């Protein structure tokens, strides 16, 4: 039984490497429209999107045991910083940056960007269709990796 569990973890780790971590606020708009735009942008990429609320890890500290390992092993992360009051996305982005992962920052056009993030490249989108278009262009070179 122990061997089977180890194989399951290795398989899961390999699957995680083909994932893209998506950090965003949990509002109806983000969970419907933003997710649809991201999923559509990556549709033909061979990459799977990872949304933390879709996985249940029993008896886990959500950030340390569930989110941080996925950020570390994902191909890259996409972080929507449109709402500065949602600190979870900034924590996830900080973890990605600290682990030297590729981080694609996205936000609605006109978002007030914190000063320590102003120098970082980002996608500013006007609509979810615009976000889908810009993400497809920005992520195209990751598709075959």
Residue 94 lies in a domain: yes
Gap between the Cα atoms of 57 and 90, Å rounded: 22
pLDDT of residue 9: 43
Residue 71 lies in a domain: yes
Domain count, the chain: 1
pLDDT of residue 12: 58
Gap between the Cα atoms of 143 and 18, Å rounded: 10
pLDDT of residue 133: 97
pLDDT truncated to tens, each residue of the chain (145 aa)?
Answer: 333 333 444 435 566 568 999 999 988 888 899 999 999 999 988 899 999 888 777 776 777 778 899 999 998 999 999 998 888 999 999 999 999 999 999 999 999 999 999 999 999 999 999 999 999 999 988 776 5
Residue 16 lies in a domain: no
Question: Could you tell me the end-to-end alpha-carbon distance of the chain, in angstroms, rounded to an integer?
Answer: 33
| Closest by Cα among 137, 68, 56, 145 to 104 | 137
Gap between the Cα atoms of 64 and 61, Å rounded: 6
Residue 32 lies in a domain: yes
pLDDT of residue 8: 41
Residue 105 lies in a domain: yes
pLDDT of residue 144: 62
CATH number at 97 reads 3.40.50.10140
Residue 1 lies in a domain: no
Gap between the Cα atoms of 133 and 101, Å rounded: 23
For the purposes of burial, counting CB atoms within 10 Å of the CB of 96, is it exposed (0-12), middle (13-18) or buried (19 or more)? buried
pLDDT of residue 17: 67
Residue 10 lies in a domain: no
pLDDT of residue 145: 55
Give the structural domain span for 56. Answer: 21-142
pLDDT of residue 7: 40
pLDDT of residue 4: 36
Residue 90 lies in a domain: yes
């Amino acid at each position: 039984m122990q061997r089977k569990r180890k194989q399951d973890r290795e398989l899961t780790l390999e699957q995680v490497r083909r994932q893209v971590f998506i950090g965003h606020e949990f509002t109806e708009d983000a969970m419907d429209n933003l997710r649809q735009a991201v999923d559509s942008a990556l549709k033909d990429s061979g990459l799977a999107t990872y949304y933390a609320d879709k996985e249940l890890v029993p008896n886990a500290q959500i950030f340390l045991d569930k989110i941080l390992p996925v950020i570390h092993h994902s191909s890259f992360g996409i972080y929507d910083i449109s709402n500065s009051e949602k600190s979870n996305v900034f924590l996830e982005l900080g973890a990605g940056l600290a682990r030297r992962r590729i981080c694609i920052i996205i936000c609605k056009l006109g978002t007030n960007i914190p000063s320590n993030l102003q120098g970082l490249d980002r996608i500013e989108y006007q609509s979810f269709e615009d976000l889908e278009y810009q993400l497809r262009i920005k992520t195209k070179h990751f598709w075959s990796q």
